[in-house]
Structure 1
C-alpha cells in the first residue's frame, strides 16, 4: 500500500515540476520581443523557389516594419484623440487629429498595395495567375472569415456539399 502512495507522490511531483517549467517558459516568451513566424501560406500556395522565399521574407520584414511604425503613430494619435474626452479640447484640434488618423490609414493601404505589387513582381507568370486568384478572394472577403483557402483534392471536393469554386471555375 505504501509503494502506491510513493508512486502517486512522485507522479504528482513530476506534474508540478512540468507545470512550473511550462509557466516559466510562457512567462519568458511573453516578455521577449520576438514575433511569431508568419504563416507560410502565400509562399506555399505559390510554390516559391528558395530564392523567391528569401526575397519574399525581406519584403515581408520591410512591410512589417513600416506597418508597425504607422500603427504606433495611429495608436498615439487615438490616445490623444480620446484624451479629448477628459478635458476642454477644441473641436478643431480633435478634427485635425481625426483627419491625420485617416491619412495614416490611407498610407497603410498604399503601403500594403505596393507591398503586394512587389510580391507579385517576384512571381513567375504562372504564379502571378495564382496570386491574382488569391488576391481576388481576399478582396471579395472569401478568406477574411475562414482564413486562407485549404489545399484540397484536385477536384475541389472537400466533403459533403458541392465543391467550392474560385472565380474562373477553378476549385479552391
Structure 2
C-alpha cells in the first residue's frame, strides 16, 4: 500500500496562511453585515408623522420638538456619555454644525442616557447643537430608523423633504460629513 506524500513545510505554511486569510475575510464580512443598518430607509407616512411629532426634554430644561427641524437638512446623532466613540465624534459634529449652519443644516443629538449624566457631561463639554434626552425610548426610535442592533453611536441624515438619505452605525468621519453635506 502506497503512502501519500506529505506536504512540504512551505506548502503547509501557504495553506495555513490561506485558511487564516479566509477566516479574517469572513470575520470582516460578518462585522460589516452586523453593523450596517438594515431595512428600507423610507419611512411609512405613519412613521414619518410619528417621528416629526416627537418631543424631547432638554438637559437644561425646556422642550425640543422635531417638527421645528422639518424642512431643512437634519443630522440626528444617537449617543451616550458612557460610549467612547460617541464622545469622540461630538467635537466633529459640533464643528459640522457651526460650518454648515449657514447652509441650513442642523445637527441634533439624542442622548440615550440619564439626564443627570448628560447635563454634567455637557457642562464640561458644551456643544453648539441642540441635545434632547431620548432615554431608553431613543433606542427604540433608532431601531425604527434602521439601527437593528441598537448600538451607538448611530447617525441618521434627513433631506429637506424629510426623507432618510443616509444612516451610519458607528463613529462618523470627516469624509462621512463631507459626503452628507453635498447630498442634503
The answer to which structure has the higher helix fraction is: 1
Question: Which protein shows a greater Rg?
Answer: 1
